[in-house]
Amino acid sequence: MKRAVLFWWLIGIVIAAIAIALSFYLDAAVVSFMTSHQSPGIRSFMLWVSRCGDWPEHFLVGLALFSFARWRGNKRWARIFLSMLIALSIAGLVGRAIKVTTGRARPSVKAEQIWNGLRGSGSKYHSFPSGHVDASVGFFGVLLLARRRIGMVCLLIPMLIGFSRLYLGAHYLSDVVCAAVLGTLCAVIVYRWLVPRSSIEDQTLD
pLDDT tens digits along 132-180: 999 999 999 999 999 999 999 999 999 999 999 999 999 999 999 999 9
Say what the pLDDT of residue 195 is. 77
| Statement: residue 185 has pLDDT above 60 | yes
Task: Report the SS3 class of residue 195.
Answer: coil
- Higher-confidence position of 23 and 113: 23
The separation between the first and the last C-alpha atoms of the chain, rounded to the nearest angstrom, is 25
How far from 141 is each of 12, 107, 124, 144, CA to CA, in Å?
14, 27, 28, 5
d(C-alpha 4, C-alpha 20), whole Å = 24
- Complete domains list, the chain, with CATH: 2-205 (1.20.144)
pLDDT tens digits along 10-51: 998 999 999 999 999 999 999 999 999 999 999 999 999 999
